[in-house]
Amino acid sequence: MNLENRNNLYPIFLKVHQLNVLIVGGGTVALEKLSFLLKSSPNANVKVVSISFDKELQKLAQEHRVELISDIYKAKYLEDQHIVIGATNDHKTNQQIYIDATINNILVNIADTPDLCDFYLGGIVTKGNVKIAISTNGKSPTMAKRLRQFFEDVLPESIDDLVLNLNQYRSNIKGNFREKVNSLNKLTKSIIYN
């Protein structure tokens, strides 16, 4: 496969309760981004800036102690932010958010504009301590959604019990790192290949 025709994104899992996240916009797209973020990380540290806010967004913000700032976007709102999501319906404002974030070395995602994104928000499946992130490289959010639904249906709720048991087993294994990895590999191989 050609390297240009594959997903070269590097997946990471961020502790967004320890980071400052800014969402610019208060409409349907901002609600989608905020909902996605809070579903995965209910304690995320988020501020939302907009001149007006969707009623559902206001309700969600209140439930999760998200700060709402009623104002037009200004670069000053990027101060002390680690991540910014531009979700306005104004192309010029979204471009300015991207420029300002880039100048300030802040990770940025401009909704529905892959060229103005340092990262994408993919599909996420969570079952207790197990979390699977799905990316289509920004090409098809609908496919990421369908894959998320598939994995939600296929993975049993009890998978978290298995993870907790393996963690306990891992803490009791004797030997060096390699011996521990080999022991865990032998034990977990039967989970996949049975």
Mean pLDDT computed over 59-74 = 97
Write down the pTM of the prediction: 0.85
**% of residues, the chain, pLDDT over 70:** 96
Mean of pLDDT over the chain:
91
On whether both 134 and 173 belong to a single domain, the answer is: no
On whether both 116 and 128 belong to a single domain, the answer is: no
On whether both 127 and 113 belong to a single domain, the answer is: no
SS3 147: helix
Quick one: CA dihedral 86, 91, 93, 94, positive or negative?
positive
CA distance 120 to 107: 11
On whether both 130 and 102 belong to a single domain, the answer is: no
Band of pLDDT at residue 1, cut at 50, 70 and 90: low
On whether both 133 and 67 belong to a single domain, the answer is: no
Identify the residue whose tokens are 């979700």.
Answer: 87
Total of domains in the chain: 3
CA distance 41 to 14: 9
The parent domain of residue 177 ranges over 159-193
**% of residues, the chain, pLDDT over 90:** 62
On whether both 171 and 96 belong to a single domain, the answer is: no
On whether both 86 and 29 belong to a single domain, the answer is: yes
On whether both 92 and 184 belong to a single domain, the answer is: no
On whether both 44 and 134 belong to a single domain, the answer is: no
On whether both 111 and 57 belong to a single domain, the answer is: yes
